[in-house]
A and B are shown apart, each in its own frame.
Chain A
Amino acid sequence: MSATTTNGRGGHAAPVHRFGRDLPPRLLGFVMNLPTLVVLALVLAYPIYYAGYLSLHKVSLVQLRSGIFPFVGFDNYEKVLTDPLFLLSLGNTMIFTAFVVTVEVVAAVAIAILINQQDVWTSRITRFLILLPYAVPPIANGLIWAFIYNGKTGFLNRLLYSVGAIDRPIDWTANPDTALFAVAVPYIWRTLPFAILLAHAALQGINKELYEAASVDGAGGWHRFIHITLPLLMPVIVVLLVLRTSFAVAVFDEILAITQGGPGDATWVASWYSYKKGFAPPFDIGAGAASAFILALIVAVLALVYVKLLYRRVD
């Protein structure tokens, strides 16, 4: 690379290819991609392969110390897939994801339209603030909501007392039937801005003349939404469905901060299961890797769908 940088400043006057000449594209392509290749191999490619390897071997504290991992075939998968707690976690993940993604897509379209109103001055304030939750560290977000939800000293109860909505304290995450949704709200709070941004960007791409023509034809607001906005937002809605689903199935930080899987096992999700298996006693790393691999497969299918959709849109 030294040959390419020795031109120094003021390269316009420098003689043509003063030192070596241009590297052949193949070599240059390899050299310029070397850092990326090394890092991706170390952090993504090898660990993905190694996750598969670990999931087929018995790995626990004893094996980690000795460095010998006995091969056990698909035992770990069998163990995980017959574990009621894993199936429950998988089910919870699906309920959580379905709820989060549905709410986010509907809310994103609605709020995108709201902040797109140029002649409503409060929309400008919303537009300014909309990105704020995106910046909050997920674990801090979780802990803040743990304070909001707390049954004894929590913030939400204080608000509701002040407006006279309740007369006795509510412990918002204590009910096993609703705890999962209580965790979903903070997650939505943090990730909704991204969905709104995508929807808003798509909205701005819609030709305004379409609306004017429709207005001339006498179409009301609802009609314009159904016949112009919604069809033209469809591509971004589909992208959002896939993107948000593939990230929501891996929810972790908010679970850790707010419920740690509780009450009972009501908020165990797939990533929490893998984490607990691998990093909490009895440190069954093999089973943890197997459960994580199953989650990875689900995400891989979603990623494939995403790629297919993008290619179709390019055509």
Chain B
Amino acid sequence: MRKTPLQKLLLHFANLVVIGFILLPMSAVVIGSLLAEKSLAGDTRSIIPGEITFDNFRVIISRGEQRGQVFEQATYLPDNVKKIYHALGNSVAISLSVTFLTLVFASLSAYTIVKLNLRWVAWLLSVNVFARFVPIIVLMIPLYVVFRQLGLLNSIWGVIIALTGFLLPYGILILVPYFASIPKELDESARIDGCTRFSAFLRITLPLSTPALASYGAIVFIIAWNDLLIPLILNNRAEFMTLPVVIASLVGDVFVVFNLMMAICLIALTPSVLLVLLLRKFVVEGLTAGGVKG
């Protein structure tokens, strides 16, 4: 099926449109974060009004101490912006813990679903198919009240537990088909050699499932990193906020200017975007496995 030059030209053009759409917000956030408020307000028509400056990042990284020229006259900087290192640390700690916990819990469950012929475990799988659909917003209110009674509000652990619960079903759905694709004979011969089921799981199934674990791990990390609702509702003290909560706290603050917001957004999106571009293959596999075969 050779394409005519005209067909090729049209396909190139279509690609250009799609790439332009993908990059539109990316260019907005990069350009916005490198500008001064004065330039943005002074010239509302140019794509890059005024000079490029790194003052937005400087003021954030120095916790508001180094104002630079852009913030010279600014008397107000939100406290949450000054606590950016807390937020960064919380986001990293929460995302890594959730990734680790869901990987462990989900692979334990997925193994029993695939290898042990138990009716209630099979039933657990169908529960997970449903659980995956539960929108976080639906459980926000009861989760808030329950965690309030358990004393888990305003702690890193509350967020970790809640996110782990929400992401577990998805992981089980991704890992089950993968575990099922590992030849039974491997498992059986290990057991003939004296392995218990559990050590066969540790030594055969898990090592052979590295690609699936990487796929799911990458996806969980990104979802945990990006999640807003759970930390927003369970934590309201600045020292427990994650980056998305800090960003949300700037919404509606009329004194916060777009250039500063764009700088914070760029800081928040860089780790997850880099991760996706680096682990593209794994993320694609996990998303398609969880979506279609589920």
Q: Is the CB of A155 within 8 A of B28?
A: yes
Q: Could you mark each residue 137-151 of chain B with 1 if its beta carbon is under 8 Å from any beta carbon of chain A, else 0?
A: 111111111101000
Which residues from B are CB-within-8-Å of A36? Answer: 105-106, 108-109, 124, 168, 172
Q: A35-B108, A43-B162, A271-B135 are in contact. Are A137 and B44 (CB under 8 A)?
A: no
Contact with B22, one of A1, A51, A132 (Cβ below 8 angstroms): A132
Contact with B265, one of A46, A50, A144, A302 (Cβ below 8 angstroms): A144
In the complex, what residue of chain A is closest to B271 when comparing beta carbons?
Answer: A135
A292→B169 CA distance, assembly (Å): 21
Q: Is the CB of B137 within 8 A of A51?
A: no
Q: Is the CB of A141 within 8 A of B25?
A: yes
Q: A131-B277, A211-B1 are in contact. Are A137 and B138 (CB under 8 A)?
A: no
In the complex, what residue of chain A is closest to B130 when comparing beta carbons?
Answer: A303
Which residues from A are CB-within-8-Å of B138? Answer: 48, 51, 250, 274, 292-293, 295-296, 299
Chain B interface residue count, CB cutoff 8 Å, equals 112
A249→B138 CA distance, assembly (Å): 11
User: How close is B135's CB to chain A, nearest CB, in angstroms?
Assistant: 3
Q: Is the interface of A mostly helix, strand, loop or mixed?
A: helix
Which residues from A are CB-within-8-Å of B294? Answer: 310
User: How close is B258's CB to chain A, nearest CB, in angstroms?
Assistant: 5
In the complex, what residue of chain B is closest to A287 when comparing beta carbons?
Answer: B141
Q: Is the CB of B142 within 8 A of A147?
A: no
Q: Which of B163-199 contact A (CB under 8 A)?
A: 164-166, 168-169, 172, 191, 193-199
Q: Which of B213-244 contact A (CB under 8 A)?
A: 222, 225-226, 228-229, 233, 243-244
Q: Is the CB of B141 within 8 A of A144?
A: no
Q: Which of A195-248 contact B (CB under 8 A)?
A: 197-198, 201-202, 211-212, 215, 236, 239, 243, 246-247
Q: Is the CB of A39 within 8 A of B168?
A: yes
Task: Determine whether B52 belongs to the interface, using a CB cutoff of 8 Å to chain A.
Answer: no
**How many inter-chain contacts with C-beta < 8 Å in the A-B complex?**
349
Q: Is the CB of B134 within 8 A of A296?
A: yes
Q: Is the CB of A153 within 8 A of B140?
A: no
Which residues from A are CB-within-8-Å of B262? Answer: 143-144, 147
A27→B111 CA distance, assembly (Å): 14
Q: Is the CB of A202 within 8 A of B292?
A: yes
Q: Is the CB of B202 within 8 A of A155?
A: no
Q: Which of B241-268 contact A (CB under 8 A)?
A: 243-244, 247-248, 250-252, 258, 261-262, 265, 268
Which residues from A are CB-within-8-Å of B127? Answer: 40
Task: Determine whether B126 belongs to the interface, using a CB cutoff of 8 Å to chain A.
Answer: yes
Q: A32-B109, A39-B168, A147-B28 are in contact. Are A136 and B269 (CB under 8 A)?
A: yes
Q: Is the CB of A129 within 8 A of B258?
A: no
Task: Determine whether B208 belongs to the interface, using a CB cutoff of 8 Å to chain A.
Answer: no
In the complex, what residue of chain A is closest to B137 when comparing beta carbons?
Answer: A271
Q: Is the CB of A257 within 8 A of B248?
A: yes
Q: Is the CB of B15 within 8 A of A120?
A: yes
Task: Determine whether A84 belongs to the interface, using a CB cutoff of 8 Å to chain B.
Answer: no
Q: Is the CB of A14 within 8 A of B194?
A: yes
Which residues from A are CB-within-8-Å of B134? Answer: 44, 48, 296, 299
Which residues from B are CB-within-8-Å of A186? Answer: 25
Q: A132-B277, A153-B41, A155-B32 are in contact. Are A48 and B15 (CB under 8 A)?
A: no
Which residues from A are CB-within-8-Å of B1? Answer: 211-212, 215
Task: Determine whether A106 belongs to the interface, using a CB cutoff of 8 Å to chain B.
Answer: no
Q: Which of B87-144 contact A (CB under 8 A)?
A: 104-106, 108-109, 111-112, 116-118, 120-121, 124, 126-127, 129-131, 133-144
Please choose the segment from B53-61, B62-70, B76-84, B280-288 that sits at the chain A interface, where 4 or more of its residues have CB less than 8 A away: B280-288
In the complex, what residue of chain A is closest to B124 when comparing beta carbons?
Answer: A33
Contact with A25, one of B15, B117, B276 (Cβ below 8 angstroms): B117
Which residues from A are CB-within-8-Å of B104? Answer: 35
Which residues from A are CB-within-8-Å of B21? Answer: 189
Q: Is the CB of A47 within 8 A of B137?
A: no
Task: Determine whether B206 belongs to the interface, using a CB cutoff of 8 Å to chain A.
Answer: no
Q: Is the CB of A39 within 8 A of B161?
A: yes
A12→B203 CA distance, assembly (Å): 11
Which residues from A are CB-within-8-Å of B116? Answer: 25, 28-29
Contact with A247, one of B118, B135, B199 (Cβ below 8 angstroms): B135
Contact with A130, one of B22, B32, B144 (Cβ below 8 angstroms): B22
Task: Determine whether A161 belongs to the interface, using a CB cutoff of 8 Å to chain B.
Answer: yes
Which residues from B are CB-within-8-Å of A289? Answer: 141-142
Known: A131-B280, A135-B226, A155-B28. 13 other contacts (CB 8 A): A11-B203, A25-B117, A28-B112, A33-B112, A35-B105, A120-B3, A129-B23, A137-B228, A137-B272, A144-B262, A202-B292, A271-B135, A292-B141
- A selection of 19 A-B contacts at a CB cut-off of 8 Å is A29-B120, A35-B108, A39-B105, A39-B161, A44-B169, A120-B8, A125-B15, A132-B273, A134-B222, A136-B272, A140-B269, A143-B261, A157-B45, A189-B25, A202-B292, A252-B137, A279-B233, A296-B134, A307-B126
